[in-house]
Amino acid sequence: MDWLWEQHWFLMHQCLLLPFALLYLLAAPRHLSLTWRYLYLCLGGCALAVGTMGVCSLVVFMATLVFTVLVCGVGTGRVHAWVFWVQMLWQTFCHLVLQYREGDLHKGASIRLFMAMSSLMLLTQRVTSVSLDLQEGKIRLPRGSAASRIHFLLSLCSYVLSFTTLLGGPLYPYSQFVRCVEGMGSRPPPRPLPLGVVSVKVLQVMLLEWVRYGLLRCLESHAAGGPVGQCLWVWGLALSLRMRYYSHWRISEGLNVAAGFGPRADWPGRRAPDWSGLSDGDPWSTEASTQVSAFARRWNATTAAWLRRLVFRRGERCPVLVTFGFSAWWHGLHPGQVVGFLTWAAAVKADYGLHRRVGAALTSRWGKALYAGLSWAHTQMVITCVVVLVESRSVSSLRVWPSMSVLLFPLFNLALCCCFLLKARVFC
């Protein structure tokens, strides 16, 4: 049991929340008013934050408090800029504190601080999404009585601090959250209950963790020899790291489904809802990507959609470079993260030019099949470099990379990207 808590801290807490999510789904329609439904989600998130993060939960509570003050005190035309910069500066300060504890103090930061930073990063997604909705007019501030304003702030705090998304989970709009919470009072619990969907996701998590454990044991017992063996060993390491993310996404999706969030359509009486609407990425379709750009869209899909809306579509120059640069900032600006995300940006730019020129020129079936296989292998090795760089984070761990033959793949993409840019005579 101690090994489970140590190695699967996030997963164990998410699994322990499943009964509370199912209790909410059962009790909300008949036994909880709208106000109590919001309080159930919000207070549950507060209790979860204090229980898992301890005093570090103040990092999350402070960000929530400042966000509500900005929403109330700043006009809708300027609220997004205020929320964005205040939240990102606060998150950057907290990341610098984390780096200081990891590096300069020569001692590892506590798991509670890591959980607080992970929760703060997810909170950044939610508050900036709400601020964008306010600026674009998708959400309107209540102009009526004080009770309506308090109810609105309660719904905002519930959305930001909900226990279903505090430690992880797909990002869904505030309007969808309100529709699900308010809709539970006008209909009975769904029949059948999503126990089958939740059970399947839990089984998928167990399978992923079992395969990941076997892969790590295999990597420990086999040393990397020669360029090919070295590439395969690093690829296996990166695959095990990605499988950890797939496990976290699956259990987070199951927790949201258990609470009644995420159906693609409301369940009108006899018709059962479709619970496949919330997903951060399917391992099969993501790992089968034959293009680096396609992998970037499918990997952590709701975060990728958030980055497209927040940065990519609003950028006038170099949207790809700016988007991946902002992603490195959002992740903490560790040296490995900066190098990794800039490598990914160069690979995406090279991918656009390569598939536009080479892919379109192929006409035979065998040629396309061979090209698809080589493209898949190339995508896997590029993502391998990116994942290991991002996860390494520290400067000292980057010293081993000059001896790694796998480094040839991102260097090839960087050279190809420079060729395309120089040929087009534009920077991006």
Q: Choose the most confident range, by mean pLDDT, from 28-32, 250-254, 369-373.
A: 250-254
Compute the average pLDDT of residues 186-196: 66
> Between 408-424 and 365-392, two packed helices, what is the crossing angle to 10 degrees?
110
Q: Are 366 and 372 in contact (CB under 8 A)?
A: no
pLDDT given at position 149:
86
Active site residue 355: no
Higher pLDDT, 270 or 221: 221
Q: How far apart are CA 64 and CA 49, in angstroms?
A: 12
Tokens of 263: 């159906």
Rounded (10°) CA dihedral 280, 24, 48, 19? -80
pLDDT given at position 4:
42
Q: Check pLDDT > 70 for residue 388.
A: yes
pLDDT band at 33 (very low <50, low <70, confident <90, very high): confident
Q: Quote the mean pLDDT of the chain.
A: 81
pLDDT band at 235 (very low <50, low <70, confident <90, very high): confident
Q: Where are the beta strands (DSSP E) in 324-372?
A: none
Q: Check pLDDT > 60 for residue 225.
A: yes
Q: Which of 300, 306, 280 is nearest to 131 (CA)?
A: 306
pLDDT band at 400 (very low <50, low <70, confident <90, very high): very low
Burial of 404 (0-12, 13-18, 19+ CB in 10 A): middle
pLDDT given at position 263:
59
pLDDT band at 265 (very low <50, low <70, confident <90, very high): very low
Domain boundaries, the chain: 32-189, 196-424
pLDDT given at position 269:
45
Cα three-residue angle 16-18-19, rounded to 5 degrees: 90
Active site residue 300: yes
Q: How far apart are CA 242 and CA 295, in angstroms?
A: 12
Residue for token digits 């120089």? Answer: 422
Q: Check pLDDT > 70 for residue 143.
A: yes
Q: How far apart are CA 277 and CA 379, in angstroms?
A: 27
pLDDT digits (tens, 9 = 90+) for 360-382: 666 677 777 887 788 888 888 88
DSSP codes joined into one string, 269-303: TTSPP---S--S--HHHHHT-SSHHHHHHHTTHHH
Compute the average pLDDT of residues 33-38: 90
Q: Which residues contact 339 (CB under 8 A, 6 or more apart)?
A: 389, 398
Q: Check pLDDT > 80 for residue 276.
A: no
3-state secondary structure of 94: helix
Name residue 255's amino acid: L
Spot the catalytic one: 248, 256, 300, 334: 300
Q: Are 247 and 205 in contact (CB under 8 A)?
A: yes
Q: How far apart are CA 380 and CA 259, in angstroms?
A: 35
Higher pLDDT, 5 or 172: 172
pLDDT digits (tens, 9 = 90+) for 88-98: 999 999 998 88
pLDDT digits (tens, 9 = 90+) for 304-322: 999 999 999 887 788 888 9
Higher pLDDT, 327 or 109: 327
Residue for token digits 């975060």? Answer: 303
